[in-house]
Amino acid sequence: MRSEATRAVLSLGSNLGDRIATLQGAVDLLVAGAGVTPVAVSPVYETAPVGGPEQGSFLNAVLVVDAEGEPKELLELAQSAERAFERVREVRWGPRTLDVDVIAFGGLTDDDPELTLPHPRAHLRAFVLRPWLDTDPAAVLPGRAPVAVLLAGVEEADTGGEQRLRRREDLRLRLPGEAERVG
């Protein structure tokens, strides 16, 4: 059992139903988890679906937490949040009410298929890298590179616009205790 908290990064995505309500509900559930302390939540992005069948656009964001338990406890918490929003997923990379991925857990690297760290496709996804960078301009994807460098590479390679995203200034996720922003 770990006694110290580890900084961990979770990515949240939704492209079915009331997407922003689902993301806020997921944030609330995740930060209420045992041994989980919220650190930051990113801005919200409207993102084109990457991979999978034709489907609606996603809202994506990143939640940074300090987690006291083992990495798999955080995965279980992420999966329980998905279940709470009755995630329905019939095809790989298809539409879903809620997807929560563990992007990084401290500096750990692990190729366990049940929980691969960092997430095996995080370095290829602007919808993960952009919001993560917003929360921490110095962020580094363990075993790979600074997030800013990875994002620049993804954007440069994205000639077809599959990775395009747009910040939703009109939407905002809140951590518990944060005041409603006026104006």
Ligand X SMILES: Nc1ncnc2c1ncn2[C@@H]1O[C@H](COP(=O)(O)OP(=O)(O)OP(=O)(O)O)[C@@H](O)[C@H]1O
Ligand Y SMILES: Nc1nc2c(c(=O)[nH]1)N=C(CO)CN2
Nearest to 5 by CA among 42, 39, 41: 39
Residue 8's region, left for phi above 0, alpha for psi from -120 to 50, else beta, is beta
Question: Residue 34 Cβ, how far from ligand Y at the closest point, in Å?
Answer: 25
Site string for ligand X, 75-114 (x = CB under 6 A): x----------------xx-----x-xx-----------x
Candidates 101, 125, 130, 134; catalytic one:
101
Candidates 7, 66, 87, 172; catalytic one:
87
Contact in structure between 66 and 7 (CB atoms under 8 Å): yes
* 8-state DSSP, 86: T
Token digits of residue 154: 């993804």
Selected from 23, 115, 128, 154, the binder of ligand X by CB under 6 A is: 115
Candidates 19, 96, 125, 130; catalytic one:
96
Selected from 20, 116, 142, 168, the binder of ligand X by CB under 6 A is: 116
Token digits of residue 106: 């401290």
Is 87 a catalytic site residue? yes
Nearest to 35 by CA among 9, 74, 72: 74
- Cα–Cα dist 75/115, whole Å: 7
Is 125 a catalytic site residue? no
Residue closer to ligand X, measured from CB, 68 or 99: 99
Which among ligand Y, ligand X, none contacts residue 19 (Cβ within 5 to 8 A by kind)? none
* 8-state DSSP, 54: S
- Write out the residues near ligand Y by the rule CB under 6 A: 13, 47-52, 58, 60, 93, 99, 127
Active site residues: 87, 96, 99, 101
